[in-house]
Copies of this chain bind each other. A is one copy, B any other.
Amino acid sequence: MLKISNRAIQMPASPIRKLVPYAEAAKKRGIKVYHLNIGQPDIETPKQILDAVRHSDFKVLEYSHSAGNESYRKKLVGYYKKVGIEVTTDQIIITTGGSEAIIFGFMACMDAGDEVIIPEPFYANYNGFAVEAGIIVKPIKSSIETGFALPPIEDFEKAITAKTRAIVICNPNNPTGYLYSAAEMDILKLLIIKHNLYLFADEAYREFCYEGTHTSAMHLTGVDDHVVLMDTISKRYSACGGRIGAFVTKNKTLIDATMKFAQARLSPPSFAQILGEAAVDLPDDYFNTTKAEYKLRRDTIVNRLNAIPGVFCPNPGGAFYAMAKLPIDDSDKFCQWLLESFSYNDQTVMLAPATGFYSTPGLGKQEVRLAYVINVMAINAAMDCLEKALEAYPGRI
C-alpha cells in the first residue's frame, strides 16, 4: 500500500473549517448564519489599492525579485518608519502571506526536534507550520480570567529546555485580542537574551489597538539579532486574498539564509505586490476610520456577551477577536449544535470552538472565539441568537 507521510497524518485539520459542512446544511434548510467564526474582514478593501492593480499596464506577468519588488520594499521601509520600526530594504523579504513568513522563520531558525514556546490559546495554524518544519510547540497557558495576559515569567522558565530556540508572540493576539504591554514585551526581551532565543512576532493586527499603544518586538532595543517580524497586509487592508506578507529581521545571517528559501519558491505574487505598494500611500485617516468601526463592534459584542447570564468576556485591547467563556459543557458540541439543531427566527450563529486554539488537550472546552467581522446590526442579531441558544442548549452547565 502507498503510504502518506507521518507528518501528513500529524498535520492538524483546520479547527475552524471543520464546522463548515454543518453551516452549509443549515443554509440549505433556509437558516441565516451569522459568521463570527473566521477572520475574514467584511470591511471593503480600499478602492484605490484595488484600482492600482486594475490600472496596471505591464505586458508580461513576470516573476518578481525573490525578495519582492524593490520598489515595494522601499515603500515598506517608509511604512515601518511610521510605526516606529527602522529597517532597510534588504532587511525585508516579501512573502506569500504571513503564513509563508512564519514557515520561513520556523525553517530557517529551527531544525527537526527543536522547540518553540507559544502562549496558548494561539493561532491554530502555528501547529500546522510546526508539523511541516518538524518542530515541537511547547504551549504555556494564558487564562481568560486575566484577559489572556502574558503568563508569568516562571512558566516560560519552566518550559525552556536545551532544545528551545524561539518564542512566538502574536500581538495584538489572535485569538484572544489581547494587547501586550510594553512591560510584558520587556519580559520577553529578558527571556530571549537570557536563553539566547529568537522572538517571532506576528503583528498582523498592529493598527487595530483600542486600549493603549502597540509595542512592536522591533521596538525592543539591543535584541536586533533575536527579533523576526512575521507580517501581513491581509487584515490591515482587508486584503487576505492577496497573499502578501513580509519576513523582517535585522539579523544579517538569518535574512541571507532565508533568502535561499525565498529563491527556491521563486517569487511572491506579483499582482498583490502592486496592491501592497499602493496601500502604503493610503491617507492616514484610513486606519482611523477602520479602527473606529472595529472598536464600535468590539464594544457592542463585549457588552452584549457580558450581559448574557453566565457569560464572561474580557475586553480585548486589539485585533478583531473576542474570547468568551460560556456556561456550556463542550464548545465543539455547542458550536455544532448551534448549526445543526438551533435557530431563532430562522437565524443562528457560527462560532469557533476555543479547543482548536489550545495545544493542551482538554483546554478551551468552555470558551469560544468570536471574530467581529460583521457590522453592528448583524452583531446584535447574532448576540440575540446566542442569548436564546444558551437558554435552550441541553448541555448548559
Asked if A359 is an interface residue, CB under 8 A from chain B, the answer is no
Most buried by B among A42, A59, A241, A272: A241
- Tell me if A108 and B240 are in contact (CB < 8 A): no
Nearest B residue to A223 via CB reads B2
- Tell me if B60 and A260 are in contact (CB < 8 A): no
Asked if A97 is an interface residue, CB under 8 A from chain B, the answer is yes
Q: Given A44-B59, A62-B240, A242-B270, A132 and B264 touching (CB < 8 A)?
A: yes
- For A129, what are the chain B residues with a Cβ–Cβ distance below 8 Å? 264
Nearest B residue to A265 via CB reads B99
- Tell me if A257 and B62 are in contact (CB < 8 A): no
Asked if A225 is an interface residue, CB under 8 A from chain B, the answer is yes
Nearest B residue to A11 via CB reads B260
Asked if A40 is an interface residue, CB under 8 A from chain B, the answer is yes
Most buried by B among A11, A61, A243, A261: A61
In the complex, A240→B239 CA distance in Å?
21
Minimum Cβ distance to chain B for residue A55 (Å): 7
- Tell me if B239 and A107 are in contact (CB < 8 A): no
Asked if A13 is an interface residue, CB under 8 A from chain B, the answer is yes
Asked if A394 is an interface residue, CB under 8 A from chain B, the answer is no
- Tell me if B269 and A243 are in contact (CB < 8 A): yes
- Tell me if B241 and A8 are in contact (CB < 8 A): no
- Tell me if B99 and A61 are in contact (CB < 8 A): no
A229-274, CB < 8 A from B:
238-243, 251, 253-254, 257-258, 260-261, 263-272
Q: Given A2-B198, A17-B66, A107-B7, A100 and B240 touching (CB < 8 A)?
A: no
* Among B43, B55, B63, B264, contact of A54 (Cβ-Cβ < 8 Å): B55
Would you give the 0/1 interface string for A110-132, flagging 1 where the beta carbon is closer than 8 Å to chain B? 11101000000000010011001
- Tell me if B263 and A17 are in contact (CB < 8 A): yes
Q: Given A7-B107, A99-B266, A62 and B40 touching (CB < 8 A)?
A: yes
Asked if A196 is an interface residue, CB under 8 A from chain B, the answer is yes
- For A198, what are the chain B residues with a Cβ–Cβ distance below 8 Å? 2
Asked if A275 is an interface residue, CB under 8 A from chain B, the answer is yes
Asked if A64 is an interface residue, CB under 8 A from chain B, the answer is yes
* Among B4, B60, B253, contact of A257 (Cβ-Cβ < 8 Å): B4
What are 30 pairs between A and B in contact, CB < 8 Å? A2-B251, A4-B108, A5-B110, A5-B257, A7-B107, A7-B108, A7-B111, A8-B107, A11-B260, A11-B261, A13-B260, A14-B263, A43-B60, A50-B61, A53-B53, A63-B241, A96-B265, A99-B266, A103-B265, A128-B261, A240-B266, A240-B267, A241-B270, A241-B271, A242-B270, A243-B267, A243-B268, A243-B269, A269-B269, A270-B272
**Given A2-B251, A99-B265, 19 extra CB contacts under 8 A:** A2-B197, A5-B107, A5-B257, A11-B261, A13-B263, A40-B62, A40-B63, A42-B60, A50-B58, A50-B61, A53-B53, A61-B241, A61-B275, A63-B240, A97-B265, A100-B265, A125-B265, A132-B261, A240-B266
Residues in chain A within 8 A of chain B (CB atoms): 1-2, 4-9, 11-14, 17, 40-45, 50, 53-56, 58-64, 66, 96-97, 99-100, 103, 107-112, 114, 125, 128-129, 132, 134, 196-198, 225-226, 238-243, 251, 253-254, 257-258, 260-261, 263-272, 275
